Chain A
Amino acid sequence: MDLAYKIFLDPFVQMGTAPDLLMQTLWEGLVAGVLYSLIALGFVLIFKASGVFNFAQGIMVVFAALTLVGLYEHGVPAFLALAITVGVMFGLAFAVERLVLRPLVNQPEIILFMATFGLTYFLIGFGELVFGGEPKVMISDQLLLPSGAYRVNMFGGFVQMQKIDVAAAIIASLMVAALAVFFQKTRIGRALRAVADSHRAALSVGISLEYIWVIVWFAAGIVALATGIMWGARSNVSFALEIIALKALPVLILGGFTSIPGAIIGGIIIGVGEKLGEFYWGPLLGSGIETWLAYVIAMVFLLFRPQGLFGERIIERI
């Protein structure tokens, strides 16, 4: 009885009695969620256009951030380094298309999936070779990202918001909006959706798969760079970041693999759910809750909506 009270009632009593703490937790969950969304977004882009689950998305985040910081450490001015990194991500997209996707065209998806594993380990090795394996500090000040915190008074207490988190939320929203317009309103966006739906039909209207693949991998690279900067600014840049790719998995299950809004909402649900769980239920269940709660949330959703929140439900005549 006592345990049931602790699990089912006490956390809510706490939420009610200290609303400022609840708000603080929600805010932190929201920020974590936005970053999860960004990672998931990289996956969604590539999955939409080529049906490939890109395992390398996580390492692309690390690689982009490492390139940026590494260039700066070699004396390149911060914004020039940023521009060069964008160029490097384009080069990577081009190389992936030429060396990985093109030779494997028309192969089963599992083969392409395995190829992205290969790409992951290549990027780990290559990144270590060029920039070394030790963690680096993100150059957030040099990139004019704000530091410090806002204190917002509410409910008789206050909520502390890191400025970098606010910036992350804004930048993520802008990127998502730009991508949404790109996908819905432009010729290339239409071509991307076309390729996602049917390769041979896309070819028959003269859409070049090669060109489209370079564009999506480049877009995913830019998303990875933004994610790398934001995560790097919160902790630091190291290969350990690579495992955040695994955090994207429950987000994708929740949001559906093909939906950009799904990636956003899914990321926020997972982020907020994780922080709430950790703060209010964590003491009861042990502190490891953050490592597995996301997967449990995703699993529960899966029971009710197997296609994810926004996944395209395939309605078809038979």
Chain B
Amino acid sequence: MRAPTDPDVAAGEVLLSLENVSLSFGGVKAISDVSFDIRKSEIRAIIGPNGAGKTSMLNVINGFYHPQRGRITFKGETRAEMRPYRAAHGGIARTFQNVALFRGMTALDNIMAGRTLKMQRGFLWQMLRYGPAMAEEVEHRHRVEEIIDFLKIQEIRRVPVGRLPYGLQKRVELGRALAMEPELLLLDEPMAGMNLEEKEDMSRFILDVNDHYGTTIALIEHDMGVVMDLSDRVVVLDHGIKIADGTPDEVKSDQAVIDAYLGVAH
């Protein structure tokens, strides 16, 4: 169990803030006027019942969806919408709810793909596999091997990821995101479909990433035990509306949250 409020986090500077964000698809409102922020080095959970707009929220943050209204401020820079390519450049990495890996490639190549933005040498040099390009490849490969060791996936690095069991695919996907050395890591249900042991492993990886690299993490998760253990602060969405925001303990005892989860007659 983490300290409910890490004092340095509570006072920490804001890395990303969302102001009055609204997103709709045709007539369907996915997110209505939601504001919250993510502070540097915290683990921020986004929770809510199915269809609450959690994944849409992540998609807005890394630019897959463009909100109709609202402002997004990331590292002091305000814009109406993100673009995925820009978001990645700015240091936002993510994983997906139903695993989006490069299925034909090996685990190693998948994670190397995460280094794309970090590699600079022209492709002619790379084709020749000579000189500075070779040195660069070796250096990145070295970083990737560290990540592979960290995630304990040494044995599967040469396996095409399509053949891996689901839990390992999720781990490779996390590895690819880590390879980007992100400032903000978005995890969309990192533990969905995992057994207890796998969940414990994944929780430990998330905490270690946060501790060792100081990476800020925003995660969506359904397992309440996990959310309460991992996160510094929790934002609760229901039907696209923010109904609560605070420490795990505050949120847990909030009447609106209890109603949303248990269901009340409106």
Taking beta carbons and an 8 Å cutoff, which residues of A are in contact with B?
178, 181-182, 185-191, 193-194, 196-198, 200-208, 312, 314-317
Given contacts A206-B85, A207-B85, 8 further A-B contacts (CB under 8 A): A182-B127, A190-B109, A190-B113, A201-B96, A201-B101, A204-B93, A206-B89, A207-B116
Q: A185-B129, A315-B162 are in contact. Are A198 and B102 (CB under 8 A)?
A: yes
Kindly provide the distance from the CB of B204 to the nearest chain A CB, expressed in whole angstroms: 24
* Complexed CA–CA distance, A178 and B100 (Å): 29
User: Is the beta-carbon distance between B85 and A203 smaller than 8 angstroms?
Assistant: yes
- Binary contact track B89-120/A, C-beta < 8 Å → 1, others 0: 10001101000111111000100111111010
Kindly provide the distance from the CB of A189 to the nearest chain B CB, expressed in whole angstroms: 8
Q: A193-B102, A194-B102 are in contact. Are A315 and B84 (CB under 8 A)?
A: no
For the A-B complex, the count of residue pairs with Cβ-Cβ distances under 8 Å equals 102
B25 sits at the interface (CB 8 A): no
Choice from B96, B123, B162 contacting A186 with Cβ under 8 Å: B123
Interface size class of B (residues with CB under 8 A): 35 or more
User: Is the beta-carbon distance between B126 and A205 smaller than 8 angstroms?
Assistant: no
User: Is the beta-carbon distance between B64 and A201 smaller than 8 angstroms?
Assistant: no
Choice from B64, B104, B180 contacting A203 with Cβ under 8 Å: B64
User: Is the beta-carbon distance between B101 and A187 smaller than 8 angstroms?
Assistant: no
User: Is the beta-carbon distance between B93 and A205 smaller than 8 angstroms?
Assistant: yes
* Complexed CA–CA distance, A51 and B164 (Å): 24
Residues of the B chain whose Cβ atoms lie less than 8 Å from the Cβ of A191: 113, 116
A-B contact pairs, 16 of them (CB 8 A): A178-B127, A185-B127, A193-B109, A194-B102, A197-B103, A197-B104, A200-B100, A201-B100, A201-B176, A202-B102, A203-B85, A204-B62, A204-B93, A205-B116, A207-B85, A312-B104
User: Is the beta-carbon distance between A187 and B162 smaller than 8 angstroms?
Assistant: no
Residue of A nearest to B126 (CB): A186
Kindly provide the distance from the CB of B176 to the nearest chain A CB, expressed in whole angstroms: 6
Residues of the B chain whose Cβ atoms lie less than 8 Å from the Cβ of A188: 123, 126
Residues of the A chain whose Cβ atoms lie less than 8 Å from the Cβ of B105: 190, 193-194, 197
B235 sits at the interface (CB 8 A): no
Kindly provide the distance from the CB of A138 to the nearest chain B CB, expressed in whole angstroms: 29
Kindly provide the distance from the CB of A181 to the nearest chain B CB, expressed in whole angstroms: 5
